[in-house]
Amino acid sequence: MTLRFDPENIDQFKAQIRGIPGYPVGEDLPIREMVFESGALWRLPDLLLIAGMKTDQTLSVVMDRTPMQREGKDLKELILQILESAGWQMDVIWLEPDGSGQVHTDFPNINAVKARLQPNSAVLSVGSGTVTDIAKHACYVLQQEHNIPPLPFVVYQTANSVSAYTSNMAPTFVDGVKRTLPSRYPDVLVCDLETLRDAPQAMTVAGVGDLLAAFGSYADWWLAYRLGIDNTYTEFAQILMGPLDEIFLEQADGLKAGHLESMSILAKLIALAGLAMSLSHATAPLSGYEHVISHVLDLVAEKKKRPLAQHGTQVALATLLTTAGYQIFMDEFEPAEVNLENCYPTEAQMKARIGASFNPLDPTGHVASECWADYKIKLESWHTHRADFQDILHDWPGIRAQLHSLVKPPEVAAHILQAVSSPVRFIDLVPLPTESEVQFAFMSAPLIRHRFTLGDMFVFLNWDRETLWAQVNKNF
């Protein structure tokens, strides 16, 4: 399948996407090159030059200790050999795992990388999403603190796993809670197709899963817009990404077999996802109720010193829950039965509810405090836009029709996951969360941030969420 918007020809791509409704007027995409090629590894020295780097400056190479193979050879060792042979002087910055055995995007890691950089540094990240986010945010923070021009920055993508590579935002742990912080774009993205093919299959299916968030997130974003809570909504992301269900079903066999063409298409879709969010100035296009469920599961794992699951696969499984929730909401919601007065809890009530939810997990109260700081913004907006909610009640048939057009049935998502040999039940996720942890995440997700999703609607409507959980969990 040919993508309508192909990021490989960068100049043509930039010209085309400026014509999509919702593209930010007057904004230039600063990425200089995006490469999706067989053998792109061997072009790496020249691609560093395209990014504005110079061979007489030190190249900071940010990597973690995860073993990686490309055609039977040690990938990281191969990259360092190629660069050394081309005359580059390198300072290798190794990211070390914490007690969970993983590297996380947090400020200890970001600051450790930043401390090794200088205003004249050039930076190459070699890794998946976490390594990329740490490296790009270290560059960004250094730039902000010293008021200097952006450091030349190249991303060597090692797996088709997440949309971090082209995003100018960085999901970062703050007091144990994931927050999306403003960050920066790369100057050059390098997708060597053999590297992507030889990455663990679990990472490839996670990349598919991360994009399936769109099956519910577009609806979450539009619903927040219709309620007056989020005025950033446009159709830019939907148009840019194209028909994901059709693309994935067509490419499923190729992705399972490791065909380079399918690896290229997935890599391009992942790149488009990062750009869709960055150019929308919000993660909302591809991050809704399913992502906050995933964030709560990450929070639970973090507090229990347990490794995190593959982000995209966890998101995909949460998407099965949230899209099932949308089907129930669209089928069962009766505006005539709504008691408006009961839909507007006070600050004191919701602050207490957040504390009751998260203090057992974190007795210090830091998590609850961080969640409340963000949540209260949403609560205030919900109260302010009460008239918009009343409009939704009056125009429910039209609202329902619009939501129906934006939501994909959970069966479609499940079919795609099965087609790419992805887990389709939480019991198959590694590490395995307990059912009570997944239920806690489903129930508590609306309480952790200011973004409005279907989960908030269930909370404010005082929906019987125990029954809801039994309904959405029954099939998946």
Report pLDDT for 414. Answer: 97
At 179, the pLDDT band (50, 70, 90 cuts) reads confident
For helices 311-332 and 410-419, the axis angle rounded to 10 degrees is 150
My answer on whether 339 and 456 are in the same domain is yes
Tokens coding 54: 């110079």
Tokens coding 187: 């100057």
What is the C-alpha to C-alpha distance for residues 387 and 60, in angstroms, rounded to an integer? 54
Residues 6+ apart with CB under 8 A from 453: 220, 223, 224, 288, 289, 292, 322, 445, 446
Report pLDDT for 173. Answer: 83
C-alpha closest to that of 183 among 212, 155, 216 = 155
We report the CATH number of the domain holding residue 148 as 3.40.50.1970
Question: Tell me: the pLDDT tens digits for 380-402?
Answer: 999 999 999 999 999 999 999 99
| Count of structural domains, the chain | 2
Mean predicted lDDT score pLDDT of the chain:
96
Report pLDDT for 348. Answer: 98
Q: Is 469 within a domain?
A: yes
Report pLDDT for 475. Answer: 53
**pLDDT exceeds cutoff 60 at 230:** yes
Q: Is 47 within a domain?
A: yes
Q: Is 214 within a domain?
A: no
For the chain, the C-alpha Rg in angstroms (whole number) is: 22
Question: Tell me: the pLDDT tens digits for 426-447?
Answer: 999 999 999 999 999 999 999 9
What is the C-alpha to C-alpha distance for residues 16 and 340, in angstroms, rounded to an integer? 46
Q: Give the DSSP letter string of 147-160.
A: T-PPPPEEEEE--S
My answer on whether 305 and 420 are in the same domain is yes
Least confident of 95-109, 204-218, 236-250: 95-109
Q: Is 68 within a domain?
A: yes
Report pLDDT for 1. Answer: 64
* pLDDT > 90: percent of the chain: 95
My answer on whether 287 and 186 are in the same domain is no
The residue-averaged pLDDT of 310-331 equals 97
Report pLDDT for 328. Answer: 98
My answer on whether 39 and 173 are in the same domain is yes
State which residues form the domain around 139. 10-199
Question: Tell me: the pLDDT tens digits for 83-120?
Answer: 999 999 999 999 999 888 899 999 999 999 999 999 99
Q: Is 275 within a domain?
A: no
The residue-averaged pLDDT of 206-225 equals 98
Query: How far is residue 173 CA from its own chain's centroid?
Result: 14
Question: Phi and psi (nearest 5°) for 319?
Answer: -65, -35
The residue-averaged pLDDT of 263-285 equals 97
Tokens coding 202: 């679990």
The CA–CA distances, whole Å, from 354 to 321, 452, 462 equal 22, 16, 16
Report pLDDT for 474. Answer: 75
* Contact (CB, 8 A) for 314 and 203: no
